[in-house]
Amino acid sequence: MAAMGLDIASEHFEQRDFRRFEQCLKQETQALHDLVEQGALSERGPVAGLEAEAWLVDAQGRPAPRNEEFLARLDAVDVVTELARFNVEINVAPQPTEGDGLARLEADLQATWARCAGVAADMGIRLLATGILPTATDADLSLANLSDRARYRALNEQVLRQRHGRPVRLDIEGACGERLQVEHRDVMLESAATSFQVHLQMPSADSVRAYNAAMVASAPVLALAANSPFLFGRRLWQETRIPLFEQALSIGTREDGAHANVPRVGFGSGYAGYSLLECFRENLDRFEPLLPIALDEATRALPHLRLHNGTVWRWNRPLVGFDPDGQMHLRVEHRPLPAGPTLTDMMANLAFSLGLIAHLAAQDRPPEQALPFDLARANFYAAARDGMAASLTWLDGRAGRAQALLLELVEPAADGLARLGVAQPLIDRWLGTVQARVVSGRNGAAWQCEAHERLGGDLGAMTRELMARQADGAPVHTWT
């Protein structure tokens, strides 16, 4: 929930706050339109960045709601709170992809992770990267574990207001027949889902192609990386994080002329056409503000537009940002990836996703012309449900098992990384890890399911083993 990084003075709002915010939002959306029309956005790129969310856990692998103390001891601006007291987020400075840029990203992530792990150890707890913590219970996701920030209390209040007081209903049926149905009267269900978000900035002329390519690539990327099969003791989807997050923040939207309802958390309503501005116009037209804060930044920095965009959680989301020289840019935030199971696996996932997106974006025939949006969306949810066993339809119209498709996509991903200027030894190393994982059929979700059976259904023992293996650092396909 990186968009919630701003702290606020008040957690309660009046109708006049919403009116003022909407007016600012209209002005800033028009200002972005003018910048796009004038060709004034940055042509810098390609540049990549990342955000890694993690759990704080005790020696038994249970959630440790101590992020305030942890962050105070750490005293680092690049590690921040998340919604729950047992989560934190690591931010890594973006790097040009050319040469060893992605290796610098990896080194920065490893260095920050090591710093965090050291502080956690001094506190008698651990840092763990996993899409959903298998030992987390429904009782853990209570307002008692809400991080102590006004912005989170305000978010909770506004989500319930827009739901007119109706409880959040979670209803997920797993591929193996298990079903989970729970109700919450707060937003804390969302805190059970932790992600590894990849950012890609391309020259503005290439941004639409990159955004659409990211949507097309999302299904195979998710099938490769699935790491969240358990929630509250139930075996559900291979990437249960997807339906969990969507249902946890299920809020109605303003209907269009056809009375269609676009989810606030979801795959989106379609490919981009002429500009990523279309997403921001949809934000204005379809999504009521959640946090109508009066911001002091100059209108040219688009502060209200950026805040509002941060409360619309597309699985691929355009973001407004600024280059080191202050020039505004648009970049793609690729959000399907879960955290874990190791830093090595996470970097391999990043490399594969960036490479596949770059390859697809460079094709003579745009892939969005070959794969209708409805099929791209259906692929995404099939991959979330079934992982590498999912049936996916690809650009040539063939439907087949995701595992076989992934083997075919390693070479195109290598081509895309080369287009991004990534050094060949890095391409070989990370995509070698990807290929070995696909051949083995063992991603994080598959290993968790195997370990669950091997350990007689003991999720605590499985989590403690996960903690030990993650600390060792060997990629998941080598685990037995």
> Mean pLDDT in each 10-residue stretch from start to end of the chain (480 residues)?
51 90 96 95 96 98 97 96 96 97 98 98 98 97 93 89 87 91 93 97 95 98 98 97 94 59 91 96 94 87 96 97 95 98 98 98 97 98 98 97 98 98 98 98 98 97 98 96
| Domain at 10-48+147-469: CATH architecture | 2-Layer Sandwich (3.30)
Cα–Cα distance, 194 to 205 (Å, whole number): 32
Cα–Cα distance, 338 to 195 (Å, whole number): 4
Indicate the residue type of 243: P
Any idea which residue has 């195109």 for tokens?
Answer: 412
* pLDDT at residue 297, as a whole number: 83
* pLDDT at residue 253, as a whole number: 66
Token pair belonging to 155: 């978010």
SS3 (DSSP) at 90: strand
User: How many Å separate Cα 120 from the centre of its chain?
Assistant: 24
* pLDDT at residue 4, as a whole number: 41
* pLDDT at residue 6, as a whole number: 57
Cβ partners under 8 Å of residue 198, min gap 6: 48, 49, 50, 333, 334, 337, 349, 350, 353, 354
* pLDDT at residue 101, as a whole number: 97
Q: Which residues pair with 91 in a beta bridge?
A: 51
Ordered alpha helix ranges (H), 196-335: 207-225, 241-248, 277-286, 303-309
Indicate the residue type of 54: A
Indicate the residue type of 78: D
Encode burial over 140-167: b for 16+ CB neighbours within 10 A, e otherwise.
Answer: bbeeebbbebebbbbbbbbbbebeeeee
* pLDDT at residue 12, as a whole number: 82
Any idea which residue has 């989170």 for tokens?
Answer: 152
Q: Which residues pair with 329 in a beta bridge?
A: 321
* pLDDT at residue 378, as a whole number: 98
* pLDDT at residue 1, as a whole number: 43
Cα–Cα distance, 433 to 101 (Å, whole number): 19
Angle at 474 between CA 135 and CA 433, to 5 degrees: 110
* pLDDT at residue 176, as a whole number: 82
Q: What is the pTM of this model?
A: 0.95
